[in-house]
Structure 1
C-alpha cells in the first residue's frame, strides 16, 4: 500500500538546489514505486476540477520569472495516462464532483519540481489535477475521499502545496523559522492527530496566525484533498519538517 502524500513544493529553486529537502525527496522516491502518480497542484486553478488527459509526454511549464537561466533548461518529459485519468474521472463523477478533461496542459512547477527530484527518470505516468481554492473545506475533503483506496492499487496521490505560504513577508537572509509559522503548523498537526476535522475546516478562524500563514488558500487546499484521500481514519505522519526564508514551510506528511 502506498500512502497519500502532502508535499511542500517550496521555491522553484528547489529544482537546482542540493539541500536537505532535495535529499529527502530523492529518498522518498526510492521508497515508493507507484504505477501512476495523481498530483493536485496549487499552481493550476480551475473553477471546475480539471484532469490532464493524454498518453503523450508533457510539456514542462516554467510558470515563474526572474530565475537563473538553467531553471528554464530543465525538462521533465513524463507521460500521462488516459486509462488512469479515466479511473480518476469516474471516481470523481461517482462522488458527485463536476470534472472536465484538459488535453493540452503541461506540468507546472508545482508538479515537476517535486517529481524530478523523486523520480528523475520521468518513467511513471502522471495525471495532474487542478484545484479550486474557493471551495469550502468540506468540499476539498470530498474530492480527496473520492480517491480513497487508490494506494492499494499502487497509485500515488500527492497534494503539492505549502502550509505556510506568504511570499510578501519572506526574509531572504533568515535561516531560523519564525515562531508564528511554527505555531501555525503545530496547530495543524495537533488537530489532525486528534482527528478534529471540524476545527481544521475552520483553520482560517481558529488557527493561530492563519491570515499570515495563508493569505490565499490555493497552496493550502492540496493538504485538505490529500487528507480526504486517506479516508476517515486520520493518522498523519510527519515525514519532513523544515523552514526556509523565515516562514516558508516545508512541512510534508504521509497519510
Structure 2
C-alpha cells in the first residue's frame, strides 16, 4: 500500500538553481530524501498558464527551456524523467468529478518551474513527473478547490508540489533592494507565513485585498496560485511548516513549505 505523502510549496527561483550551489535547492533535496520514493510527482508550475485546468499526459515529457539570456550550459541540460499518463488520467477523473472542465495535454513537456526542482529533488530522474497548469484569470478559491479535488492522489503515493514564488516582482529583483526598498516583500511574506503556519486558509483566500503590499509583491498572480493548490491538497485547517526561508536581492522570497 502506498504511503500518504506530504504536500510541498516551493519558491523555485531562477533557472540557475539547476547549475549553481543554492541553499534553496539543498533544502528541496534534503526534504525529498526524507520521503518514501513517490509513485509520481505532480508539479503545479507557475509557468504553465491556461484558461482551464490541464494535465500533462506525455509518456516522455521533453525538457522545456522557457527562458532567455542565461549561460549556454543551462540550455544543454535535460531532465529525462518519465511522464505519468495513468496518474494524469486519474487526476482528470478527480477534477471532472469535482466539476472542473479539465483536460489532458499529451504533447507538452516540463517547464523550468517543474524540472529545476525535480533535478535537485530526484537527480537520477527516476521518479515519474507530470504537471498541472494554473489559471491566472481565476482566483485563489478556484485553485484551492483544484488542490482539494486532487488530494486523494496523496494516498496513492503521489507527491503534490506547488512550484511558484512567495513574492515575485522581477522589476524590483532586477534593480535590487537598497535603502529598505525590500521591506514590503518582508511584510507580505510575514503576513502569509503567519496564516500558513496557523492553517488560516480563509484569510489567505483574500490575500489580494488583505495582505500588505499584495499588488507589489505579485504584480501578476500566476506565481502565487500554486500555493493555493498545495493548500487545497493539504486539507482544510492544515498547518504548514516552513523548511526554507531566504530573500534574493531583498525582494524575491525563496520560502519553501510542507504540509503533512
Q: Would you say same fold, with TM above 0.5?
A: yes
Inter-partner Cα distance in structure 2 for 1:165 and 1:147: 26
Greater shift, 62-71 or 175-184, is seen at: 175-184
Residue in structure 2 matched with residue 129 of structure 1 by the alignment:
132
Deviation at 1:173, TM superposition (A): 6.0
1:188 aligns with 2:203: no
**TM value normalised by structure 2:** 0.93
Residue in structure 2 matched with residue 246 of structure 1 by the alignment:
250
- Structure 1 residue runs of 5 or longer lacking an equivalent are none
Residue in structure 2 matched with residue 120 of structure 1 by the alignment:
123
1:31 aligns with 2:44: no
Q: Is the 8 A contact 1:51 1:89 kept in 2?
A: yes
Q: Is the 8 A contact 1:171 1:246 kept in 2?
A: no
Inter-partner Cα distance in structure 2 for 1:167 and 1:179: 15
Q: Output one character per residue of 1:88-141: Cα deviation in whole Å (capped at 9) or x when no partner.
A: 111111101111111111100010011001101111111111110121221111
Greater shift, 175-184 or 202-211, is seen at: 175-184
Residue in structure 2 matched with residue 155 of structure 1 by the alignment:
158
Deviation at 1:151, TM superposition (A): 2.2
Residue in structure 1 matched with residue 62 of structure 2 by the alignment:
59
Give the alignment partner of residue 226 of structure 2, picking from 219, 222, 226: 222
Q: Is the 8 A contact 1:149 1:230 kept in 2?
A: no
1:91 aligns with 2:107: no
Q: Is the 8 A contact 2:40 2:127 kept in 1?
A: yes
> Residues 16 and 174 of structure 1: is their aligned pair in 2 closer, same or farther, counting only changes over 3 Å?
farther
Q: Output one character per residue of 1:137-165: Cα deviation in whole Å (capped at 9) or x when no partner.
A: 21111100001232222110000000100
Inter-partner Cα distance in structure 2 for 1:177 and 1:162: 19
Inter-partner Cα distance in structure 1 for 2:20 and 2:128: 25
**Secondary structure of 2:150's match?**
coil
CA RMSD of aligned residues (A): 1.7
Aligned pair count reads: 254
Q: Is the 8 A contact 1:76 1:122 kept in 2?
A: yes
**TM value normalised by structure 1:** 0.95
Q: Is the 8 A contact 1:50 1:101 kept in 2?
A: yes
Within a 5 Å distance, the mapping from 1:10-49 to structure 2 comes to 10-32=13-35, 33-49=37-53
Inter-partner Cα distance in structure 2 for 1:53 and 1:62: 19
- Structure 2 residue runs of 5 or longer lacking an equivalent are none
Q: Is the 8 A contact 1:177 1:245 kept in 2?
A: no
Residue in structure 1 matched with residue 207 of structure 2 by the alignment:
203
> Residues 253 and 15 of structure 1: is their aligned pair in 2 closer, same or farther, counting only changes over 3 Å?
same
